[in-house]
Amino acid sequence: MAAKRTSRRQFLKTAAAGAALLPLPAIAQGAGGRVVIVGGGFGGASCARFIKRIDPRITVTLVEANPTFIACPFSNGVIAGLRDLKAQEFGYDKLAADPVVLQLSPGTAIDPQGRTVTLGNGTRLPYDRLVLSPGIDIRWDGLPGYTEAAAERMPHAWKAGEQTLLLRRQLEAMEDGGTVVMSAPANPFRCPPGPYERASLIAYYLKTKKPKSKLIILDAKDAFSKQRLFQNAWKALYPNLEWVSLSNGGKVTSVDVGAMTLVTDFGRHKADVANVIPPQKAARIAEMAGVADRTGWCPIDPATFESKLQPNVHVVGDASIAGAMPKSAFSANAQAKVCAAAVAKLLAGGSPDEPKLINTCYSLVAPDYGISIVGVYRPADGQIKEVEGSAGVSPLDAPTSTRALEATFANAWFNTITTEVFG
Partner 1 sequence: MQAFKSGQVPSTVMDRIAKGFSDDEVKAIAAWYGAQKD
256: left (phi over 0), alpha (psi -120 to 50) or beta: beta
**Rounded to 5 degrees, what angle do the CA atoms 151, 156, 160 make?**
115
CA 91, 95, 97, 99: dihedral to nearest 10 degrees? -150
The type of residue at 405 is L
Q: Which ranges of 254-328 would DSSP assign to H, the alpha helix?
A: 284-289
Binding to partner 1 (CB under 8 A) within 341-360 occurs at 356, 358, 360
Total residues binding partner 1 (CB under 8 A):
24
Q: Which of 60, 62, 51 has the alpha carbon at shortest distance from 106? A: 62
Residue among 227 and 402 whose Cβ is closer to partner 1: 402
Q: Give yes or no for residue 21 binding partner 1 (CB under 8 A).
A: yes
Q: How far is the CB of 360 from partner 1 (least distance, A)?
A: 6
Residue among 33 and 379 whose Cβ is closer to partner 1: 379
Q: Are 25 and 348 in contact (CB under 8 A)?
A: yes
Residue among 64 and 353 whose Cβ is closer to partner 1: 353
Q: How far is the CB of 160 from partner 1 (least distance, A)?
A: 24
Q: Give yes or no for residue 27 binding partner 1 (CB under 8 A).
A: no
Cis peptide before 99 (omega within 30 of 0): yes
Which of these ranges, 59-67, 99-107, 317-325, 374-382, lies near partner 1 under the rule CB under 8 A?
Answer: 374-382
Q: Give yes or no for residue 263 binding partner 1 (CB under 8 A).
A: no
Which of 183, 275, 372, 419 touches partner 1 by CB under 8 A?
A: 372
Buried b (16+ CB within 10 A) or exposed e, 248-287: eebbbeebebeebbbbbeeeebebbbbbbbbbbbbbebbb
Residue among 10 and 187 whose Cβ is closer to partner 1: 10
| Per-residue interface string for the shown chain with partner 1, residues 377-416, x marking contact by CB under 8 A | x---------x-xxxx-x-------x--xx--x-------
Residue among 309 and 391 whose Cβ is closer to partner 1: 391
Residue among 86 and 228 whose Cβ is closer to partner 1: 228
Q: Are 263 and 150 in contact (CB under 8 A)?
A: no
How far is Cα 407 from Cα 367, in angstroms, rounded to an integer? 7
Q: Which residues bind partner 1 (CB under 8 A)?
A: 9, 13, 16-17, 20-21, 356, 358, 360, 372, 374-377, 387, 389-392, 394, 402, 405-406, 409
